[in-house]
Structure 1
Amino acid sequence: MKSPLLSLPGAVLAEGVDDGVAAHYGDLFREQRALADGNGFVDLSHRGVITVSGSDRLAWLHLLLTQHVSELPVGEATEALVLSANGHIEHALYLVDDGTTTWIHVEPGTQEALIAYLESMKFFYRVEVADRTDEFALVHLPAGSIAEVPEGVVVRETAHGRDLFLPRADLETFAAEHGPAAGTLAYEALRVEGHRPRLGFETDHRTIPHELGWIGSAVHLQKGCYRGQETVARVQNLGKPPRRLVFLHLDGSDVHLPPPGTEIRVAADGAEGRKIGVITTSARHHELGPVALAVVKRNVPVDAPLLAGNTAAAQETVVEP
């Protein structure tokens, strides 16, 4: 599904999972600065939108998700995960409840698999699960934005800004009234700066929540009854997840960013040393320069200079070893 906002001046189509919306509109750093100052918006209309309605919706979701949502207050944003039986992350959900319906947005293209899982777990609960991606487009307003939200639009507000579940038919009108538009590259650079993991970027088939710092924000340690809970409890008690998320400052003299998947080694071991991790997201930040998120082995010293491919990198701890 291609966004109609790709017709805006300067729009360049994003690649990979973000295909369908603009990577940028001609000036990456200007777009980043605008978002950092609380101006403009980001078109995230390629993301999946799911609703869960029915009187049992919160109690039912509480049984399936890692987060405590059985008493989620109206309008309060939260995030949650769906884990495999072995505790590996399968889905990341970003939720808000409007009093009658729980609104969820998820990574592009993952909504069908998530809905299939939810439908398989309905049993006798009074819930209705619906894919609303064709009807609603997600739009992000940055923190500090004073833009007026159209009447009746469901809003998910966090410290990082407001996510709007905007009727897709209103997307072009919204853009005309709330510009300037910023692309996903600007949004991703600020996500990297904020150390926020993303499903399919910082995760692989064996990622557990502790490795990415999702404990607390997406996993409630005082609740049970969800798939994968045993792994969460065991790792929490032992305190030894096998890997950890780090933030990297990359050598700015390199012309090219090391792409996701670039192998990381301890600098003292040289380019032929043992692989200790990989770049998961890299970005050019308007103030910090080239930066990245990476997942490395837990026992890598927190002060060790690293090499991402042939690029020197200094690490900041996101998840404590």
Structure 2
Amino acid sequence: MSASALMSRQGAVAAADPDEGVAAHYGEPMHEQRALEQGRAVVDLSHRGVVTVTGADRLTWLHSITSQHLNALEPGVSTEMLVLDPHGRVEHAAAVIDDGATTWLITESGTAAGLVAYLESMKFAMRVEVGTRTDLAVLGTSAHGPTIDGALIQWRDPWPVTAPGSTRYGPDDHEHPGAQWQGTLWLVQREDLPAAASAAEGAGARLAGVWAWEALRVATWRPRHARECDERTIPHELDWLRTAVHLEKGCYRGQETIARVFTMGRPPRRLTMLHLDGSEHITPDPGATIMHGEREVGRVTSVVRHHELGPVALAVLKRSVDPEATLSVEGLAAGQETIVTPEGFGTGRPPPQDRPRPNPALRRRP
């Protein structure tokens, strides 16, 4: 994707993959982060993809092939969905909102084409049409931040409120750090992006880079497909069932794994937050190996400098790693803050069935 029109703003510093095309910051990353947290900033997320689904069967069809309960989705209600492979591994993730005529899907940069290809392959005789809207751009604000005049759609992140029919592998909703900040995505015409940002600035907001968005995402333990997922990721490991997976809907690809791991418990890995030693003024890169002594126990997925927490990271660890253990990342000490519990059981899990012990006499040979 070509660079955003807002990259011409004074002080703009280009972001790296997976956020190429927009600004990491505009010269004052910590000030931008505080402003976003306080509802006084707008973030250029115009590298995100936008997919539309229209037609009479759109919601029942999406309901049948994704992780989310969508066939009764009311217009204007924000949710999110995952597309899983047959083994329950995450292939695509999208923010979802319907306006009564169109279901809008907001995806990671560079993934819209892949999502459209999958959806097209599943159409069969359904009355649906799938398209990509490259003429639209995404802006981000705090939920209590500025209003983007002229926006086509406003999506409010449901994270971390555990949806009806879902489960959580982390703390109660009211104790979750995500309860302190909620992001909102706005869709605007791409040609109107500079004017929309300027209007928000005129109303008292400032332009913030994607580093600010990422810092608040990490601080609220919000998983991101482009960062926390690899080819083995199942949603239980990231506590993603709470907002993206419905446990009481019909069959869809990957459902068997979702149900089995929920019922039996113990996903193989778990998401955690790492508080990194900041005395060296360096941070590891995403993908860095995490060690416990001489043993490799996981990888870093996201790294930020938070204006209050300092250098912190999200990481995926082996579930069995002692949550009290001090770990190391490229020589830096890293203390853990538990996100997904090491016990590996979601709320509402059915009680285990007592199995009768086999009678030894039945196995005796004459």
Same fold (TM over 0.5): yes
Instruction: Give runs of aligned pairs for residues 138-217 of structure 1, distance below 5 A.
Output: 138-145=138-145, 147-151=146-150, 153-158=152-157, 160-179=182-201, 180-217=206-243
1:280 aligns with 301
- What SS is found at the alignment partner of 1:95? strand
For 2:144, give the aligned amino acid: G
For the aligned residue pairs, the C-alpha RMSD in angstroms reads 1.0
1:93 has 2:94 as partner: yes
Question: What does the per-residue CA deviation read over 1:286-315, in whole Å, with 9 as the maximum and x for residues that have no partner?
Answer: 111000000000011111111112111111
User: Residue 48 of structure 2 contacts residue 108 of structure 2 at CA under 8 Å; is this kept in 1?
Assistant: yes
Instruction: Give runs of aligned pairs for residues 252-291 of structure 1, distance below 5 A.
Output: 252-266=278-292, 269=293, 273-291=294-312
1:299 has 2:320 as partner: yes
Aligned pair count reads 314
1:137 has 2:137 as partner: yes
In 1, the alpha carbon distance for the partners of 2:287 and 2:8 equals 32
In 1, the alpha carbon distance for the partners of 2:196 and 2:114 equals 30
- What SS is found at the alignment partner of 1:204? coil
- What SS is found at the alignment partner of 1:222? coil
Q: Which runs of 5+ in 1 are unaligned?
A: none
User: Residue 151 of structure 2 contacts residue 187 of structure 2 at CA under 8 Å; is this kept in 1?
Assistant: no
How far the C-alpha of 1:89 sits from its partner, in A, is 0.5
In 2, the alpha carbon distance for the partners of 1:257 and 1:317 equals 20
- What SS is found at the alignment partner of 2:237? helix
The 1:148/1:201 distance shift into structure 2, 3 A limit, reads closer
How far the C-alpha of 1:143 sits from its partner, in A, is 2.7
Question: What does the per-residue CA deviation read over 1:200-233, in whole Å, with 9 as the maximum and x for residues that have no partner?
Answer: 3111001101001111210111112210111111
TM-score (norm 1): 0.96
How far the C-alpha of 1:158 sits from its partner, in A, is 2.9
- What SS is found at the alignment partner of 1:102? strand
In 2, the alpha carbon distance for the partners of 1:48 and 1:164 equals 12
TM-score (norm 2): 0.84
The runs of at least 4 consecutive aligned structure 1 residues that moved more than 6 Å come to none
In 2, the alpha carbon distance for the partners of 1:235 and 1:167 equals 42
Correspondence for 1:315 among 332, 336, 340: 336
How far the C-alpha of 1:152 sits from its partner, in A, is 5.5
In 2, the alpha carbon distance for the partners of 1:162 and 1:202 equals 20
In 1, the alpha carbon distance for the partners of 2:23 and 2:68 equals 32
- What SS is found at the alignment partner of 1:81? strand
